[in-house]
Amino acid sequence: MRSDALPLVLIRRFLGVVFIAYGLVKLFGGQFVYSDWTITRSTASGPFLVWAFYGFSPAYAKFIALCELIPGILLLFPRTAFVGAAALFPVALNITVMDFAYGFPGVKYLVAIYTALLALLLWVEREKLWMMFASRERVQAAFATVGNVSVAPAPERSKAVLWAIRVVSTLFILWVANMIVEASTEGPEPRAIAAAATRGDSLVLKRSRLTGQSGIGRTAIVHLRTSTDTSVAATVYLTRPMGFVPWRVDSMK
């Protein structure tokens, strides 16, 4: 299959937007847990442990964000797409192993698909990988023949295909905007503490658990404690339909 075939172009753009979104969310201070927390093996879930670990160092969190953001941008351009895929593959593979090892929800299957798609992009252009292990003479000979190689022009795409690409691209842009807005606004913890204050309780965060990574239909369970006792004093359940609306308190006990 040609590297400029429409399915591969769509895969590159899809993965580029996905990893740009994940990178921007982290860059704007989202996804990881940066607040105070108390962790024990009996109460902390695997995902919360991972988010707390990465959020312990904001500088390292920004580094991870750039490792997703920059290769994601490179994927969007034909000349740099291979470099972007090569840089993202180990990142995605590590995330896949981590998600399965630490018991993440259904998002782990999506990440596994992303990793498989990146492997497909690398396999299609595997000759470039083999060149990394070739001798200097072989590489120079290959470059010398580039000017003599004729490449057939890519087939023209129908208007229906072009409109489909525009629609999908627009939906992706809205999804990315939603993720950025969600990442740049406060999480559910301040809203939960404020809700507890309305009934006269002065509580602080003990831990929180969030579900959903797509920025749509997210839920949160926030456990609060007093400033002098580490046991759970209140539990607040919140939902957020999308990043463009604030967190809503559903119930508290």
Task: Output the pLDDT for position 116.
Answer: 94
> Of 195, 219, 224, 199, whose CA–CA distance to 209 is shortest?
219
Task: Output the pLDDT for position 161.
Answer: 78
**140 shares a domain with 34:** yes
**65 shares a domain with 176:** yes
**244 shares a domain with 174:** no
**14 shares a domain with 68:** yes
Domain housing 173: 6-184
**248 shares a domain with 216:** yes
Q: Which helix (H) or strand (E) holds 251?
A: strand 248-252
Spans in the chain with pLDDT lower than 70 = 1-4, 43, 139, 142-143, 146-155, 157, 180, 183-184, 212-215
d(CA 193, CA 98): 31
How far from 58 is each of 64, 210, 217, 240, CA to CA, in Å? 10, 19, 26, 25
Q: Residue 66 domain-assigned?
A: yes
d(CA 86, CA 197): 50
Task: Output the pLDDT for position 90.
Answer: 94
Task: Output the pLDDT for position 155.
Answer: 65
Contact 6, 161 (CB under 8 A): yes
Summarised one tens digit per residue, pLDDT across range 25-43 is 888 877 787 777 777 777 6
**241 shares a domain with 131:** no
Provide the greatest CA pair distance for the chain. Answer: 79
**180 shares a domain with 58:** yes
Q: Residue 142 domain-assigned?
A: yes
Contact 118, 14 (CB under 8 A): no
Q: Residue 1 domain-assigned?
A: no
For the chain, how many structural domains are there in total? Answer: 2
Amino acid in position 167: V
**12 shares a domain with 128:** yes
Task: Output the pLDDT for position 114.
Answer: 92
Task: Output the pLDDT for position 141.
Answer: 74
